[in-house]
Structure 1
């Protein structure tokens, strides 16, 4: 039995494209199936009043594409602005309608690619462009990324400081979705809202060694609320060095320093004595100070009491803002490796402290185990971010299951040195 091929007749369809409330209908057809011009259901799409008079569209309204002819359907819509930001959207199951699900950016130039097909599956495509106008709100949200550009240890979190507080979860989600962190080698992570004005980003595990981390924002011109729009944000690029992790066992009075998975030095130490126990958990090096004068009065010890002290301290590596350091303690060498006699810091000989000071960098990890002290605060006293399990960390994302009601310190002031 012979088969007679069916001659395809291209059938036009009508699409209605509504950009921020403005739209017209368009159609196209061609009776010649061998025509060099493919079927294009979107061939005559235009935005009413947007190009003829140069008027810019209102960024406060959604973008919509609608197929009004039963003979054709939309197969895909891609909208992207000049900054490379894609406009998210949803296409109905029948291909009759596509609409944006995220806000348009203000003061942006968009390119929209509409793909279609007719009832016989013949494809068509149309590329359109338009500009959006100025945002209606006067307030601009600024974001400052941290730390400063440079090389850090694998425990360094990324911070994002907002210029004004944001409490609403939907508004937080808009902000968070615009903050991008890319790592090479790749390391998947998540943002966590520390409070109404600060977010931290960290991977599930520590950053890879010798990684390049780039942080940027797509928030510029994006509507956050009726009166608040995103502003320009300076991007950040940092790198990580070797994987350096120092683990102090308070019960055995010893610190093991690991570099890229190998122990490179064992150091006898002393940690906090009863009543001044060193915090357990993971801390991150905040900075290094060659000389610090430490006084007992800074932690409430009365001057002249048995516990009072006023000492010059050298090779001090800070791990909390409240004054916990790893430092030289020549006065306690006899107890190092055998007893805990400090007021909360980790003390070691001057030679060992000098070696540690030169070996570690900001962002390296210092962990304390088997101390009778409480666990390092997650936020507010340095970077205790790693003390939150990954599931709980993700709960602090506005894009995940919500922000936990975990207690946060009432004050986040950077305090002067306290303990020795």
Structure 2
């Protein structure tokens, strides 16, 4: 009953009492004295209107079986009424990022939930009624490691793929791949991250375990910051296997440096940020021997060593070479070789490497970084998966995207 309603009831009672007392005092000497005075109808007391309490929402959990939800997917909650808010906290009391649907009747976490964890939730309806509950996720059958080829804050070339090696076979590749994010923005920018224009491909180079590569459709834009988000410890790789930890890091695409290596012209031409900066005479693998041909295609710089021992049991040599830049991990280098200077710029005589003079080999070596493209042209043998490890750019975009589990 409201305060106003309470005051009205009190005033009515006082008025009724005052009328009855006056009638008794005037009775003597008046007509009808000694007879009971006609009673005044009693005032009715207004009754309070009771508002029924707001009904709390019933919340159901998607996929709930045996008291737990499968890990590896977003946590999804559905309410029987429109909600004003839904808050979910983990066991440490930290809020879980999530989004309420536009119609207010469901909520989902932003990312997948991990194994063996529990959460509490509070749902408040539009009418203000609240309900509470808890939910837990299933446990993993085992946890294994995954590693990536590009380090934290590393600067790489414009052809660098992102390679993730799993220490187990991933049997649910689609479930894993759809949660892998690669974002990019210009170096130094504080603007929004945008999805990189590329695709993941599952390749056999880590068999019997799994490997997935990310390659852009075109080369990475130079001077770009890349953010990779791989929630591997929150994903079911298949059969309940998951990662030891999530991988979340940044790296940088440096300047654009492209080597055009033309065996017919017996030289290499270096372009940096679109400008030609050097042309060096070179000798390539012997043209007449397919085994010794330098393989044509877009190769990728993987390593460099100032001094390296090069051995071949097939061709019976064991030599020390200098200023060696490895492209792909298949035994091919651009390196200094003073023994072939007379042939450099004229003919191809090597065992598959690209030979330069000592001065030119050192000059190129000092500029090369992991992920630079070396575009070899003019030989009879093509770059292919049978003889190289990083053949990502040897595939057309159609071939590459066909290796995605989400095709």
Q: TM-score, with normalisation over the residues of structure 2?
A: 0.70
2:156, 2:130 → 1: CA distance?
A: 45
Q: CA deviation at 1:84?
A: 6.1
Contact 1:57–1:131 (Cα < 8 Å) also in 2: no
- Number of the residue aligned with 1:60: 70
Q: CA deviation at 1:64?
A: 4.5
User: Secondary structure of 1:359's match?
Assistant: coil
- Number of the residue aligned with 2:280: 267
- Number of the residue aligned with 1:355: 363
Q: CA deviation at 1:245?
A: 0.5
Contact 2:88–2:120 (Cα < 8 Å) also in 1: yes
State which of 201, 210, 225 in structure 2 corresponds to 1:212.
225
1:124, 1:291 → 2: CA distance?
A: 75
Q: CA deviation at 1:109?
A: 6.3
2:319, 2:175 → 1: CA distance?
A: 50
The 1:261/1:77 distance shift into structure 2, 3 A limit, reads: farther
Contact 1:60–1:103 (Cα < 8 Å) also in 2: no
User: Secondary structure of 2:58's match?
Assistant: strand
Q: CA deviation at 1:129?
A: 7.3
Q: CA deviation at 1:159?
A: 1.2
- Number of the residue aligned with 1:33: none
- Number of the residue aligned with 1:278: 294
User: Secondary structure of 2:365's match?
Assistant: helix
Structure 2, unaligned stretches of length 5 or more? Answer: 1-52, 187-193
User: Secondary structure of 2:233's match?
Assistant: coil
Contact 1:379–1:385 (Cα < 8 Å) also in 2: no
Instruction: Give the number of equivalent residue pairs.
Output: 335
1:388, 1:249 → 2: CA distance?
A: 20
1:337, 1:127 → 2: CA distance?
A: 81
Contact 1:249–1:370 (Cα < 8 Å) also in 2: yes
2:343 pairs with 1:335:
yes
2:306, 2:355 → 1: CA distance?
A: 15
Specify the structure having the higher radius of gyration (Cα).
2
- Number of the residue aligned with 1:147: 150
2:401 pairs with 1:394:
yes
Q: CA deviation at 1:111?
A: 7.9
Structure 1, unaligned stretches of length 5 or more? Answer: 1-10, 23-55, 117-122, 304-308, 402-420
1:16-415 → structure 2 map (5 Å cutoff) = 16-19=58-61, 58-60=68-70, 63-67=76-80, 104-108=113-117, 132-133=135-136, 135-149=138-152, 150-167=154-171, 171-185=172-186, 186=194, 187-195=196-204, 196-273=209-286, 274-275=288-289, 276-297=292-313, 300-301=314-315, 303=316, 309-374=317-382, 376-378=383-385, 381-398=388-405, 400-401=406-407
Q: Deviations over 1:314-337 (max 9, x none)?
A: 111111323110011211112211
The 1:19/1:379 distance shift into structure 2, 3 A limit, reads: farther
Q: Deviations over 1:328-351 (max 9, x none)?
A: 121111221121111111111111
The 1:295/1:84 distance shift into structure 2, 3 A limit, reads: same
- Number of the residue aligned with 1:6: none
Contact 1:286–1:382 (Cα < 8 Å) also in 2: no
- Number of the residue aligned with 1:413: none
- Number of the residue aligned with 2:36: none
Q: Deviations over 1:248-279 (max 9, x none)?
A: 11111121100001110011111111211110
Q: Deviations over 1:368-387 (max 9, x none)?
A: 0111122x235873422112
Contact 1:212–1:240 (Cα < 8 Å) also in 2: yes
Contact 2:87–2:95 (Cα < 8 Å) also in 1: no
User: Secondary structure of 1:220's match?
Assistant: helix
1:126, 1:259 → 2: CA distance?
A: 65
Contact 1:135–1:223 (Cα < 8 Å) also in 2: no
1:77, 1:221 → 2: CA distance?
A: 22
User: Secondary structure of 2:399's match?
Assistant: helix
Q: CA deviation at 1:225?
A: 3.9
User: Secondary structure of 2:343's match?
Assistant: coil
The 1:180/1:112 distance shift into structure 2, 3 A limit, reads: farther
Contact 1:294–1:310 (Cα < 8 Å) also in 2: yes
Provide the aligned C-alpha RMSD in A.
Answer: 3.9
User: Secondary structure of 2:169's match?
Assistant: coil
Contact 1:249–1:255 (Cα < 8 Å) also in 2: yes
Q: CA deviation at 1:73?
A: 6.1
